């Protein structure tokens, strides 16, 4: 399956771009159960549950083994995902938003975002391009995945064709987690080495801890996990938009957000 980036039909954005993730109502379901998950926009693993709005979605699918099924729904449905599993085993849900734009009215807010996501020294590049330090736009796209164990939960995650993508190298429902959980970060056809990944750990009482890690030369990040906790992993690519996209959107920077959620059984 190939997910295609869509650069038209640009949408208005919230006041600030936060994470967007898939949060299953249950990370493990029976073999005859349903896949249900909220589409959530927010920060620190807390946010607003979004309805199923087709015009905001570029691609939405469930992948298991060699099979893929497109996610459907009615406008306004909550939760945003409500589907039968493809099969017993690990079902991977993948979501790609349509691009949306965000205006930065002042440089410090953009710099705070750059620092948070460890996106490097962008100001010098910004000024070298003759761009203003206030009143400029960013265009962003979300590439979110979630791991749901169905029945025996056997199987593995894989690349599904997202432009930037986090792939779980560990099955949280069946594998030995004593050595930590492993993810690999991708961008187009390459792995992203020595890049920051942000890990959000939600305890059963709802409290959230946030820890930063870096990928190794193979784009792999490893972090410890705890039974009964849910996890969100996030990483961001920053790049200059193509000339066509800049003309169509007015944006001078483009971000691509990779996100992955899963839980560890009690």
pLDDT digits (tens, 9 = 90+) for 4-23: 333 333 444 443 458 999 99
Q: Spell out the domain ranges in the chain.
A: 11-178+225-263
Q: What is the pLDDT of residue 18?
A: 84
Instruction: Give dist(CA 257, CA 236) in Å, integer.
Output: 5
**pTM of the shown model:** 0.93
The residue count for the chain: 266
Q: What is the mean pLDDT of the chain?
A: 94
Instruction: Give dist(CA 197, CA 215) in Å, integer.
Output: 7
Which has the closest alpha carbon to 162: 30, 61, 76? 61
Write out pLDDT tens, residues 128-165. Answer: 999 999 999 999 999 999 999 999 999 999 999 999 99
Whether the upstream peptide bond of residue 79 has omega within 30° of 0, thus cis, is yes
Residues in the chain predicted with pLDDT less than 50, given as ranges, are 1-16
In whole angstroms, how far apart are CA 245 and each of 11, 16, 239?
14, 20, 12
């Amino acid at each position: 399956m190939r997910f295609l980036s869509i650069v038209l039909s640009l949408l208005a954005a919230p006041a600030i771009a936060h994470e967007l993730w898939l949060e299953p109502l249950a990370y493990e379901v029976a073999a005859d159960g349903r896949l249900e998950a909220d589409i959530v926009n927010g920060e620190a693993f807390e946010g607003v549950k979004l309805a199923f709005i087709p015009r905001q979605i570029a691609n939405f699918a469930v992948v298991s083994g060699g099979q893929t099924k497109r996610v459907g729904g009615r406008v306004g449905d909550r939760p945003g995902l409500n589907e039968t599993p493809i099969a017993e085993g690990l079902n991977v849900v993948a979501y790609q938003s349509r691009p949306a734009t965000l205006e930065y009215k002042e440089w410090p807010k953009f710099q705070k975002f750059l620092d948070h996501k460890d996106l490097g020294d962008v100001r010098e590049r910004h000024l070298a391009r003759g761009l203003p330090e206030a009143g400029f736009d960013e265009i962003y796209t979300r590439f979110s995945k979630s791991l749901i164990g169905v029945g025996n939960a056997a199987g593995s995650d894989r690349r599904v064709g997202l432009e930037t993508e986090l792939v779980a190298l560990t099955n949280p429902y069946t594998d030995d987690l004593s050595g930590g959980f492993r993810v690999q970060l991708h961008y187009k056809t390459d792995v992203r080495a020595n890049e920051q990944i942000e890990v959000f750990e939600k305890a059963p009482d709802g409290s959230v801890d946030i820890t930063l890690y870096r990928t190794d030369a193979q784009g792999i990040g490893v972090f410890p996990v705890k039974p009964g906790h849910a996890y969100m992993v996030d990483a961001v690519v920053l790049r200059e938009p193509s000339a066509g996209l800049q003309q169509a959107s007015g944006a001078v920077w483009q971000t691509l957000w990779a996100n992955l959620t899963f839980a560890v059984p009690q």
